[in-house]
Structure 1
Amino acid sequence: MDHLPIFITLRGRCCVVVGGGEIAARKIGLLCKAHAMVTIVAPELCPALAEHRQQGLVDWIAARFEPHHLDGATLAIAATDDEAVNRAVSAAAQTRNIPVNIVDQPALCTFVFPSIIDRSPIVVAVSSGGAAPVLSRMLRSRLETMIPAAYGRLAELAGAFREQVKQRLGSMQQRRIFWENIFEGPIAEQMLAGREDAAKRALQRALDNAADAGARGEVYLVGGGPGDPDLLTFRALRLMQKADVVVYDALVSEGVMDLVRRDAERIYVGKQRANHALPQEDINALLVRLALDGRRVLRLKGGDPFIFGRGGEEIETLAEHGIPFQVVPGISAANGVASYAGIPLTHRDYAQSVLFATGHLRDNSIDLDWEALARPRQTVVIYMGLTGLAIICRKLIEQGLPRDWPAAVIQQGTTRHQRVMTGTLENLAQKVEAAGFKAPTLTIVGEVVKLRDKLAWFDPQDGDQPPLLL
């Protein structure tokens, strides 16, 4: 992030604009909306700015720019077609530690103007840091259609009740939950429909009831998908923004974690081979304790929580303690990784069924139904099978699959660090070891792997996305 987005108070403060043309007029219009005291430095004024001056909205210094014109200014803007003047304004402002914007010259700026969606007191700003202003305006146009004008009135209603809510609900957590319920429920709908008096009465009743009720915790068991944050569901995103605390695993990608509410507490409970941050029983107990404390808990897992994610064990414990919970399925590692690797799990010519298995080793052995795994015309997807890959391949051959049976290993699938190694049961383990593959990986065994060369579509480029949290 090259620019920190901030909102600055300009009411009653001096802002100097150098330039008297149409571009300067657009910037001055924004400053006037923010109730700034605007001084224009320019030999001449365009008709629009001349009218502003006649109306007493701006002051005018009819001169070429001199550094002393910035004395006492809070903000400086240059909107001229004179390169020397623009550079002089930038230098003078930075010498005085005054934020400065030189229109269409990002290298001379210490701040940039965003594209603005004004629903005062709600203001949304979109910026490309000066790199692509047209794209910023396109995004603003889309947001304009998504944010009704009535959101400004809703914000004013909240402001009228803010102090009362603060006095009657003692903790910040209680207040946040109260306001989220208001903004997502029927009271907000009443405001958006123009029934403001009804919304005020309903909000007062909601506050009276909330003050008498204790905090009630809840757990959201959410599948974070295989890594690419674009694969999250809308419901997952909504709950990720509501939670007070997130309990997350090793296979939740950094891109997905970036979408969790920023001020939520984060508790890592990831499991790796021979290194468990918390045993499963302790994770179950942690979820119960947090919910009983009145917290809204996001239990975030990679892939889908009900496919080798122990989600069933966790919500069973929650149910035993009477803790309310929601389950949000995610795109499983099998679905997502296979798709990004260009390997369909089923195909009319090769596989009419799919079998999921875990290759997790215990006591240096893998206890699987090898006879069921070694059947033709099916696809076998093996989770956590990297360490025991050689054993898995040998067992499948012993059960009758040909040595040249196709198989593949995908590392960090769906991310920009995805790697795919294809081979056969006879040589795959050696190829993967030679290539230095590391967890997390997924193994796919079956004739559908033959389609990889024809159907591969995802072209990862290192560095575009952070690696998984491990």
Structure 2
Amino acid sequence: MPVFHRLIDAKVLLVGGSPAAAWKAELLRAAGAQIRLVSPQICAELAALVSRQPTAFDLYNRDWSPADFDGARLAIMDTDCDLEAASFEQAGRMAGVPVNVIDRPAFCQFQFGSIVNRSPAIISISTDGAAPVLGQAIRRRIETLLPATLSGWTSLAQKLRPRINALYAEGQQRRAFWEGFVDRVFSGDAPDAERLFEPMPKGGRVVFINAGPGDPELLTVKAMRTLQQADVVICDATVPGTIRELARREAQHIEAADIAEMRRLFAANKTVVHVTCSDATPNLAALQAHSIAIDIIPGVTAPQCPTPQWVAA
């Protein structure tokens, strides 16, 4: 089960003096942990880290013992010896302290995932130790989707939450504010608290998403985000289930809606997302005639790559 440990000022046992142990020490220090470092020798990277933050480490230049688990929140070891790894895991179980032996899933009670760090927003990806390189590749893909300002926006959300809870009742009104907040986050705007409190327009909106050939891999980031904001989802018969499943879990799914139904949903401040693999133009004029706000998200088609021209060396 994925969890996030709060480690500020918590004691963590780290056994080993290798570069891998140094990397784990940096992660632990970034989370605010107090590290009990036990190893007869430590590498240059770890020695440099200890010298930069001497008060963050309790350094013991010796072999580990079961007593080192006392008061620890977590325990981490780097070793090439299966016998030592097994002994360490057993000692952790006896002490009631979760254990991780670096790169040895068989001796781990928890795993470190690849981390996308936009503190206070943190994303962790785990492959349960099966393919760490795949986890890193997933992390790189996620990194490309996140705006550089995400950290600032998340910090702003922390400060604003009490104010929002006081201003807006729980339910549609409050969720509408946070959906507008999310739109600002992914628009590329810099964090700005005052703009968030400009009067929100009345009425809902209707969004047409062109799903192109029906391949979910070809949906734009904007289309994906809009599906996650939908209150009501309408899909043409040509839209595959793999795209329907991308909508917000709480969204209502209906097969079709006439103008009267669209006007009712609009008046109720609902976000209606109509997904189609065909031309939505015939529906637009009818909706616009009733002053219903409409957005259109065009589809992406698979590019046709030219045949490569080989040149003799």
Q: Contact between 1:305 and 1:329, CA under 8 Å: does it hold in 2?
A: no
CA contact (8 A) 2:33 2:56 kept: no
Match of 1:243 among 224, 227, 230: 230
2:180 corresponding residue in structure 1: 178
1: CA distance, partners of 2:264 / 2:253:
16
Superposition map of 1:76-155 within 5 A: 76-94=75-93, 98-141=97-140, 147=146, 149-155=148-154
Q: 1:222 aligns with which of 209, 212, 216?
A: 209
CA distance in 2, matches of 1:118, 1:97: 29
Distance across 2 between alignment mates of 1:140 and 1:155: 19
Q: CA deviation at 1:31?
A: 0.2
User: Contact 1:216–1:292 (CA<8 Å) still a contact in 2?
Assistant: yes
Match of 1:268 in 2: 253
Check 1:94–1:326 CA distance in 2 against 1; reply closer, same or farther (3 A cut): farther
Question: Structure 1's 283 and 268: CA in aligned 2 closer, same or farther, altered over 3 A?
Answer: farther
Contact 1:218 1:295 in 2 (8 A): yes
Residues of 1 paired with 2:244 and 2:259: CA distance?
Answer: 21
**Distance of 1:145 and 1:172 partners within structure 2:** 29
AA aligned to 1:219 is V
Q: Greater RCO between the two (CA within 8 Å, min separation 6)?
A: 2
> Take 1:148 and 1:233, find their aligned partners in 2: how far apart are those partners?
15
Partner of 1:204: 194
Q: CA deviation at 1:28?
A: 0.9
Structure 1 residue identity aligned to 2:296: V
Specify whether residues 256 and 67 from structure 1 end up closer, same or farther in structure 2 by C-alpha distance, changes over 3 A only.
Answer: farther
Contact 1:52 1:58 (C-alpha < 8 Å) held by counterparts: no
Structure 1 residue identity aligned to 2:32: H
Q: Residue 20 of structure 1 contacts residue 49 of structure 1 at CA under 8 Å; is this kept in 2?
A: yes
Residue number in structure 1 paired with 2:291: 322
Local SS of the residue matching 2:55? coil
Per the alignment, residue 267 of structure 2 pairs with: 292
TM normalised by structure 2 equals 0.77
Letter in 1 for 2:31: A
Indicate conservation of the 8 Å contact 2:233/2:254, yes or no: no
Letter in 2 for 1:327: I
Higher alpha-carbon Rg: 1
After superposition, the Cα gap between the structure-2 partners of 1:214 and 1:326, relative to the gap in structure 1 and judged at 3 Å, is closer
Distance 1:235 1:146, change over 3 A: closer
5+ residue gaps, structure 1, are: 192-198, 271-279, 337-470
Give the secondary-structure state (helix, strand or coil) at the position aligned to 1:294. Answer: coil
Number of positions where the alignment pairs a residue of Structure 1 with one of Structure 2:
298
Could you tell me how far 1:285 is from its partner in structure 2?
4.4
1:206: how far off?
A: 4.0
Q: Distance in 2 between matches of 1:125 and 1:240?
A: 23
Looking at structure 2, the residues matched to 78 and 44 of structure 1 have their Cα atoms a distance apart, in angstroms, of 14
1:133-156 alpha-carbon deviations (Å, 9 max, x no partner):
234334545655665654433433
Output aligned runs, 1:390-409, within 5 Å. Answer: none
The answer to whether the 8 A contact 2:229-2:271 is kept is yes
The aligned amino acid for 1:128 is T
State the secondary structure of the residue aligned to 2:75. Answer: strand
Residues in 2 aligned to 1:246 and 1:72: alpha-carbon distance in whole angstroms: 52
- Shift, 1:62, TM fit: 4.4
1:61-76 matches, cutoff 5 A: 61-76=60-75
Distance in 2 (alpha carbons) for counterparts of 1:134 and 1:153: 29
Judging changes above 3 Å, is the alpha-carbon distance between structure 1 residues 253 and 75 closer, same or farther for their aligned structure 2 residues? Answer: farther
1:89-116 CA-to-partner distances (Å, cap 9, x unmatched) read 3344456664432211223323322233
Cα offsets for 1:244-280 (capped at 9, x unmatched): 4434456543432343345xx232334xxxxxxxxx4
Percentage identity across paired residues of the two chains: 31
**Mapping 1:271-420, distance limit 5 Å:** 280=256, 285-301=260-276, 303-304=277-278, 306=280, 312=282, 315=284, 318-328=287-297, 330=299
Q: Indicate how the Cα distance of structure 1 residues 94 and 224 shifts in structure 2: closer, same or farther if over 3 A, else same.
A: farther
Partner of 1:242: helix, strand, or coil?
Answer: coil
Seen in structure 2, the aligned counterparts of structure 1 residues 266 and 119 have a Cα distance that, compared at 3 Å, is closer
Q: 1:140 to 1:85 in 2, by over 3 A?
A: same
Q: For structure 2, list consecutive stretches of 5 or more residues without a partner in the other structure.
A: 303-313
